[in-house]
A = this chain, B = another copy of it.
Amino acid sequence: MKMTLEAAAQRIAAALQAAGATTAMATSTARALVLAESQGQSGHGLSRVAQYLTHLRNGRVVGSAVARVSRQKGAALLVDACEGLAFPACELAVAEAVRVAGEQGVALVGVINSHHCGVVVDHLRVAAAAGMVGLGFSNSPAAMPAAGGRHPVFGTNPVAAVFPRRDADPLLIDLSLSEVARGKVMVAAKQGKPIPPGWALDAAGLPTTDAQAALGGSMLPLGAVSSPKGAMLALVVELLVSAVIGANFGFEASSFFVDEGNRPHLGQLFVVIDPGALAGRDGYFERVEVLIAEMLGDDEVRLPGARREALRRLAEAEGIEVAEALVASWAPAA
């Protein structure tokens, strides 16, 4: 059935509350999932509701958690998600980062005791709206080996960035450091098709083109078929969001896709920069347009975020299609 974004968010929030989430946690999470869905990011959208409900019910997530700033030294802060869903904690973290960057020129905020944070770049939208540049990082349950390795150590470890523009949508960059998303391997496995070399290793840590074998093994980092660079970037992200701030490593967290498992205690990290403190606000905005004009000198170049924003506007105008069976599945077990 067709639902407005607002109606979809209300249904999701109600389901999350019924499973024990506070109103604040339910509202923040529902809004984020609908925003992801509206941009065509269904892997981080409505498909996650059932998972979050299960985690709330089986104690992998604490529904009563209230995210709070647990530490601040100058421009560096920690937000403790307190084992709740990640969204209110990330929202608080970026709000604090924007506030502190306004005073200090830059702010770095880590989120600890956290969970799945969805589309990382969406958390940074408020930074762009405030005229600030934002960077975001997260880890996730282990999926990728270290360079040369055979077993999963790092998450797919997304990297996101926003760069505001004066009279246009911000540039929105959001990518995981795996060669492809695991979902592509799942599709190939269902269809009984092989996958290209460079996507995955099997359970023994050997390169495979067998999709089914890949699902029991590891995803490969970006460009791994020819270079350790993707794995090195994944290592950098893994350390920034865990050892540096005090969160768990990806290999210590149970998969989000199993019902039983630990509270993942994963981490996120956000850096917000005020260009007004460096190049100056006008200088920054003018220079961004110079680079964009140069990029668009080639016909085939599309700006990052343009497709997401077009889809989002369409969904805002026309609503989104939601399967009735999906909504029905959110109802509490009788």
Binding site for B on A (CB under 8 A): 71, 73-78, 103-108, 110, 133, 135, 145-151, 153, 159, 161, 163, 171, 173, 175, 177, 179-180, 196, 198, 205, 222-223, 226-227, 229-230, 232-233, 235-236, 238-240, 242-246, 249, 251, 271, 273-275, 277-280, 283-284, 287-288, 290-291, 294-295, 297-298, 300-302, 304
Given contacts A76-B105, A173-B236, contact A146 B243 (CB under 8 A): no
Residue of B whose beta carbon sits closest to that of A238: B291
Contact B146 A295 (CB under 8 A): yes
Contact A240 B133 (CB under 8 A): yes
- Say which residue of B161, B175, B291, B298 sits within 8 Å of A229 (CB atoms): B175
Given contacts A103-B74, A105-B108, A278-B71, contact A300 B150 (CB under 8 A): yes
- Say which residue of B148, B175, B279 sits within 8 Å of A245 (CB atoms): B279
Give chain B residues whose Cβ lies under 8 Å from the Cβ of A229. Answer: 175, 177, 222
Residue of B whose beta carbon sits closest to that of A243: B287
CA distance A60 to B43 in the complex (A): 51
Give chain B residues whose Cβ lies under 8 Å from the Cβ of A298. Answer: 145-146, 148-151, 205
Give chain B residues whose Cβ lies under 8 Å from the Cβ of A147. Answer: 301-302, 304
CA distance A151 to B304 in the complex (A): 18
Give chain B residues whose Cβ lies under 8 Å from the Cβ of A71. Answer: 277-278
CA distance A242 to B175 in the complex (A): 22
CA distance A25 to B184 in the complex (A): 52
- Say which residue of B76, B148, B198, B223 sits within 8 Å of A104 (CB atoms): B76
Contact A271 B271 (CB under 8 A): yes
- Say which residue of B107, B146, B149, B175 sits within 8 Å of A232 (CB atoms): B175
Besides A74-B103, A75-B107, 16 new A-B residue pairs in contact (Cβ under 8 A), listed by A number: A74-B277, A75-B105, A78-B278, A105-B108, A110-B278, A133-B244, A148-B302, A153-B295, A180-B227, A198-B226, A235-B295, A238-B291, A243-B283, A244-B279, A246-B283, A246-B287
Residue of B whose beta carbon sits closest to that of A275: B244
Contact B75 A106 (CB under 8 A): yes
Give chain B residues whose Cβ lies under 8 Å from the Cβ of A198. Answer: 226
Contact B151 A104 (CB under 8 A): no
Q: Supply 12 A–B pairs (Cβ within 8 Å), ascending by A.
A: A74-B105, A147-B301, A147-B302, A149-B295, A150-B298, A163-B239, A240-B273, A244-B275, A244-B279, A246-B283, A246-B287, A251-B294
A201 to chain B, nearest CB (A): 11
Contact B277 A179 (CB under 8 A): no
A112 to chain B, nearest CB (A): 8
